[in-house]
Amino acid sequence: MTVSSAPGKVYLFGEHAVVYGEPAVPCAIERRARVDVEARADDHVRVRAADLSLDGFTVEYTGSTDGRPDVDVPRPLVDAAMGYVDAAVDQARDAADAPDAGFDIVVESDIPLGAGLGSSAAVVVAGIDAATRELGHELAPEELADRAFRAEYEVQDGQASRADTFCSAMGGAVRVEGDDCRAIETPSLPFVVGFDGGAGDTGELVAGVRRLREEYEFAADTVESIGDIVRRGEELLRAADPDAPPTEELLVELGRLMDFDHGLLEALGVSSRSLDAMVWAARDAGAHGAKLTGAGGGGCIVALDSTPGSRTALRFTPGCEDAFQAELATEGVRVGDAGDAKGDGPAGAAR
């Protein structure tokens, strides 16, 4: 049996705009998905999700995901979850030149499903890594990130970017612009994550931004403005000392940019009442800045705050199910052990 784990992520800046070739800066966080893989003697694939929101499931199939587990989770999320595992299996088989390989797979995660923290990317990255290693074929992180992107691209009908999978495979902060992906050395930023217990429909939200951008020139300008925010934020990060704690001046300016970014994302229609409430609660509690992270529509916000203020305020905010500190994950995918996917993240919000 081989076990790999990979981190989730928050977007410091750039979600949605990255789909149109603008840069984005996601940062890996120490909330991990863990995938255990054991090769089988036949070509069957048996998947057990130890946690999927409040229920787990087990399903066995022979190369397709036509069978769906009966769990109390919206069907699109279940379909997507099964699709990601299936695509990861296909990529592992291809990489190891083992088209008939079968696997027993167990998935565990601290990362809320569909909430904007890169749960699917972490599962795909860890799954491909564990399956290829189990077949005796180790992938370089860059190839792993590329194969994971291809898996997400397939499941998301061509609307995926490389940001989530590259960040999960490499760890730390990264800069993604189209196919250009690279690491950024940065101080360890004090992230606080608020989670509303929900999940947005990524495909629907991306399609909505696309329609706005095609219909209104000012919506296209809004997308470009998000790219300008990313470039300014990248300049600040590159000028900072990665080996020292972040300065107050850096946090203040990054926070202002995060606030701008959230306003633009809200104008594009991808925020929600619960996300806005959490953003304002964090700001009122003294966060340097706060914004939604991921596709939006529900899920998570990220704030910059080194004090307990934002986390405490979020936990008393109506609509917020949980809030937690999130350390920068300096290590990406890794061969893991039984404790890798455990932490103080949202209870019962796994996968």
Decide: residue 267, CB within 10 A, 0-12 exposed, 13-18 middle, 19+ buried. middle
SS3 call for 159: coil
Q: What's the per-residue H, E or C state across 39-83? A: EECCCCEEEEEEEECCEEEEEEECCCCCCCCCCCCCHHHHHHHHH
Query: Contact 148/87 with Cβ under 8 angstroms?
Result: no
Residue type at position 344: D
User: Residue 280 corresponds to which tokens in the numbers above?
Assistant: 């304002």
CA dist., res. 145 & res. 128, Å (int): 10
Residue 164 designated active-site: yes
Candidates 110, 164, 261, 305; catalytic one: 164
Residues sharing a CB contact under 8 Å with residue 10, sequence separation 6 or more, in sequence order:
26, 27, 29, 116, 117, 191, 193, 293, 300, 302, 326
Nearest to 98 by CA among 131, 54, 76: 131
Do the bridges between strand 334-335 and strand 2-13 make them parallel or antiparallel, or are there none, so unpaired?
antiparallel
Alpha helices by DSSP H, listed for the chain, are: 75-95, 119-134, 141-155, 163-170, 202-215, 217-239, 248-267, 273-284, 309-315
User: How far is C-alpha 164 from the chain's CA centre?
Assistant: 5
Contacts of 71-74 with CB under 8 Å at 24 or more apart are 73/113, 74/199
CA dihedral 78, 85, 144, 339 (to 10 degrees): 80
Give the closest residue to 194 by CA, choosing from 331, 316, 18. Answer: 316
Burial label, 285 (beta-carbon count in 10 A; 0-12, 13-18, 19+):
buried
Query: Catalytic residue numbers?
Result: 164
